[in-house]
């Protein structure tokens, strides 16, 4: 079982898309413990009265399938200088505060990806998490491919195409 901190962008992607008869987040939760900070909870649930994906996320948080943790950031912390959103800052801080408890920080926010890498956090785009799950034998290749195709509208075409090539050939360094 993988253990990951998700930020808002990655969590919304998983809750919006469905494949093989269920939401993508349910496929992820079958093989991954997902933890989020309160700021991500607030960002995702702000429109729960209007959006089905936010209601799904709310239900999963209430059932504690998605675990929510409080994060306290010091005033004028270094992350404030990057102009990250509250969810991204708290996700990075949550990982840093409990790094021994997690395998990855999962984000689809480019700035959060860069900043977390600067903090030496093992950071994964959601599509790369699918590859990691396949490599570890936690998810079947065909399901990972189906999920990548299902969420493709959230990504630039190159990301999904490259992900599918990596899943097909098992080579992260493929260029063809």
> Distances from the Cα of 101 to the Cαs of 18, 35, 37, 94, in angstroms?
28, 10, 14, 10
**Long-range contacts at 133-138 (CB < 8 A, ≥ 24 apart):** 133/2, 133/31, 133/32, 134/167, 135/170, 136/2, 138/1, 138/2, 138/31, 138/32
Q: What is the mean pLDDT of each run of 10 residues along the chain (176 residues)?
A: 96 95 97 98 87 93 97 92 95 96 96 97 97 97 97 93 93 81
> How many structural domains is the chain composed of?
1
Position 153 in a domain = no
pLDDT score of 102? 97
> What are the φ and ψ backbone dihedral angles of 88, each rounded to 5 degrees?
-65, -45
- The verdict on residue 172 lying in a domain is no
The 3-state DSSP class for residue 37 equals: strand
pLDDT value of position 50: 83
CATH of the domain at 103: 3.40.50.1010
The confidence score (pLDDT) of residue 109 equals 95
- Alpha carbon of 158 to those of 58, 125, 136: distances in Å? 32, 13, 24
Is 65 inside any structural domain?
yes
Q: Residue 175: what pLDDT?
A: 83
171 SS3 class: coil
pLDDT, position 40: 97
Three-state DSSP state, 8: helix
In a domain, 130, yes or no: yes
Q: Which domain does 73 fall in, by range?
A: 2-139
């Amino acid at each position: 079982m993988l253990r990951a901190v998700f930020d808002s962008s990655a969590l919304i992607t998983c809750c919006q898309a469905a494949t093989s008869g269920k939401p993508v987040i349910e496929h992820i939760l079958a093989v991954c413990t997902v933890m989020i900070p309160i700021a991500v909870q607030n960002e995702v649930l702000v429109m729960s009265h209007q959006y089905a994906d936010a209601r799904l996320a709310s239900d999963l948080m209430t059932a504690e399938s998605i675990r929510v943790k409080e994060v306290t950031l010091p005033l004028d912390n270094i992350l404030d200088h990057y102009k990250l959103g509250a969810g991204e800052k708290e996700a990075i801080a949550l990982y840093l505060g409990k790094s021994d408890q997690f395998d990855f920080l999962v984000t689809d926010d480019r700035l959060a990806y860069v900043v977390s890498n600067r903090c030496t956090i093992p950071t994964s785009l959601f599509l790369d998490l699918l590859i990691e799950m396949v490599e570890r034998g936690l998810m079947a290749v065909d399901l990972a491919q189906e999920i990548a195709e299902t969420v493709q509208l959230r990504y630039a075409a190159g990301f999904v195409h490259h992900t599918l090539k990596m899943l097909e050939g098992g080579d992260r360094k493929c260029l063809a």
